[in-house]
Amino acid sequence: EVHRTALGPYVEATWGWDEESQRRRFQEHFRPARYSIIRCAGREVGFLSVEEREDHVLLGTIEIRPEYQRRGIGTHLLRELLAMASSRGLPLRLRMLKVNPARSLYQRLGFRVTGDTETHFLMEALPGTGGEDETQTIRSPGPGWRPGAARRTVGWPEGGEE
């Protein structure tokens, strides 16, 4: 459900939405241990997957329900990931659909396009990248949170904002 509401319009614009195909792809590729659930005021509002690799940190996906977007949740999580990758001296990489307007958020936070495919931009933020508004204060998702751990829940207070 989160995938359909968060990225469905962009998937549909790129390839067309086929419910059965999406369900099959999900069943074939979903590995629960790779995902963290994003919560806001006790509600599951999204998920993310992060993999630490030898030469970079990969943000596999970050999907937040539309009604919880533009509250600073994604910005904060991305800053946490940037800080974590930077502390290890590694770039943070991602791949995003070209039609997804989140590109402006990624660029504001210091990501640069390093390549592309017919459908995706490949982006990277080098260690030490914090973006133009890195001094803005945003509440932490909670003590001890570290992205990429199996089935970890990321908490977020009601009304968090960007």
Comparison of pLDDT for 62 and 20, the residue scoring more: 62
Which one-letter amino acid corresponds to residue 157?
A: P
From residue 60, alpha-carbon distances to 34, 43, 133 in Å are 9, 22, 24
Q: Please give the pLDDT value at position 42.
A: 87
Q: What is the pLDDT of residues 67-108, one digit of tens each?
A: 998 899 999 999 999 999 999 999 999 999 899 888 999 999
Q: How many residues are listed for the chain in this entry?
A: 162
User: With contact defined as beta carbons under 8 Å apart, do 96 and 124 qualify?
Assistant: no
* pLDDT above 70 coverage of the chain, percent: 68
- Residue range 32-69, pLDDT digits in tens: 778 888 988 888 899 898 999 999 999 988 989 899 98
Look at the block and give the residue holding tokens 């974590």. Answer: 84
Q: Strand 35-40 relative to strand 153-154: parallel, antiparallel, unpaired? A: parallel
- Least Cα distance to 93 among 58, 48, 50 occurs for 58
